[in-house]
Amino acid sequence: MLTEPLFDVPAILALALQTDGDGSWLTAPSGADFARMILRWGHFVFGIAWIGMLYFFNLVNVPLMKELDGPTKGIVIPKLMPRALWYFRWGALGTVFVGLTYFAMYILPSDARAAGTTSWNWLGQWFLIVLVLYAVIYFVIQKINDGRVLAVCVAVISIVFCCLNVYLFKGNKTIAIGIGGGLGMFMLLNVWGIIWRAQKRIIAWTEDNAKNGTPIPAESAQLARRAFLASRTNAWLSLPMLLLMGISHGDYIMFIK
C-alpha cells in the first residue's frame, strides 16, 4: 500500500508541467515568442564568442607574446591572430546587432509609450549620446599613452554616460540595458575602429619582418600600444556591461526616477 502513491507521481508531474506554479496554464510559444527566444539565444552565443576572445587576448595572449622572441612571433602571430581576430570582431558585431534588435523590438516600446514618447525617438537620442562620447574615448586613446590616466578618463566618460541614460530613459530595465548596451557599443567601436585596424598592419609587418629579427619600427610599436590600450579598456568595460545586462532581467530597482 505504500507503493500506491507512487502511481500518482506521473500524473502530478504532468499537471505541474502544464502550469507555472500559480495554477495558470502554460501555452506553447507563439511565432513572436520563438523569434524573441532566438534573438536572445543569438545574443548569448555571439557574446560568448566575443568576450571569450577578449579575455583570451588580455589574460593569455598578451603575457605570452612578451615571452616570445622575434622569429617565434613571426611564426605564431600570422597563424594565430587572423583567426582569433576574425571570431573577435564578428562576434562583437553580431552581439551588438542582435542586442540592438532585441532592445528596439522588445524593451523600448512599452517603456516609451508609458513615458509619452516613441522608441525611435529614444533610440535616436541614445545613439547620438553613444557616438559623441565614443568620439571622446577614441581621441583620448590616440593621445594618452599612460594606461592609468586613460583609465581615469574612460571612467569619467562612462559615469557621464550613465547619468545621461538615467536622465533619458524612465524604466529600470531600459536604463540598465541602455547603459550596458552603450558600453558594448563603445567596445564594438574600439574593436573595429582601433584594434582591428592596428592589428591588420602589425600582422602584415610581423609576417614580413619578424622572422628575420628586424626590430619593430616606432610606428608599428605605437599601433600595438594603442591596440593594447583599447583592448584593455574593453576588458574593464566588459565587467559593468555584463553586470548591467544581468540585472536588467531581474526584479531589482537599481535606478529610481
**pLDDT at 229 exceeding the cut of 70:** yes
Question: What digits encode the pLDDT tens for the residues 186-214?
Answer: 999 999 999 999 999 888 888 777 666 66
On average, the pLDDT of the chain sits at 85
- Residue 251 binned pLDDT confidence (cut-offs 50, 70, 90): low
Q: If you ran DSSP here, which 8-state letter would residue 212 be given? A: G
pLDDT higher at 255 or 111: 111
**pLDDT at 24 exceeding the cut of 60:** no
**pLDDT at 122 exceeding the cut of 70:** yes
Lowest mean pLDDT among 158-172, 210-224, 239-253: 210-224
Give pLDDT, residue 233.
97
Give pLDDT, residue 6.
44
DSSP-based three-state secondary structure for 187: helix
Q: Answer for the pair 133, 73: CB distance below 8 angstroms, yes or no.
A: no
Kindly list the distances between the CA atom of residue 209 and the CA atoms of 63, 66, 206, in Å, as whole numbers in the listed order: 21, 17, 5
CA nearest to 130, candidates 91, 87, 99? 99
Q: What residue type is assigned to position 24 of the chain?
A: S
What secondary structure does DSSP assign to 77-113, as a single string? HHHHHHHHHHHHHHHHHHHHHHHHHHIIIIIHHHHHH
Separation CA 134–CA 181 (nearest Å): 13
Separation CA 186–CA 170 (nearest Å): 22
Give pLDDT, residue 14.
47
Stretch 3-28: mean pLDDT = 52
* Residue count (the chain): 257
Question: What digits encode the pLDDT tens for the residues 70-115?
Answer: 788 888 888 999 999 999 999 999 999 999 999 999 888 888 888 8
The three three-digit cell numbers of residue 216, written as one number = 619593430
Q: Answer for the pair 202, 223: CB distance below 8 angstroms, yes or no.
A: yes
**pLDDT at 129 exceeding the cut of 50:** yes
**pLDDT at 69 exceeding the cut of 90:** no
The set of residues, in sequence order, having a beta carbon less than 8 Å from that of 254 and lying 6+ positions away, is 172, 175, 176, 247
Question: What digits encode the pLDDT tens for the residues 33-68?
Answer: 788 899 999 999 999 999 999 999 999 999 998 888
Separation CA 109–CA 211 (nearest Å): 56
> Is the entire prediction scored with pTM above 0.75?
yes
Q: If DSSP states are collapsed to H, E and C, what string results for 142-176?
A: HHCCCHHHHHHHHHHHHHHHHHHHHHHCCCHHHHH
The set of residues, in sequence order, having a beta carbon less than 8 Å from that of 218 and lying 6+ positions away, is none
The residue assigned the cell 599613452 is 145
DSSP-based three-state secondary structure for 19: strand
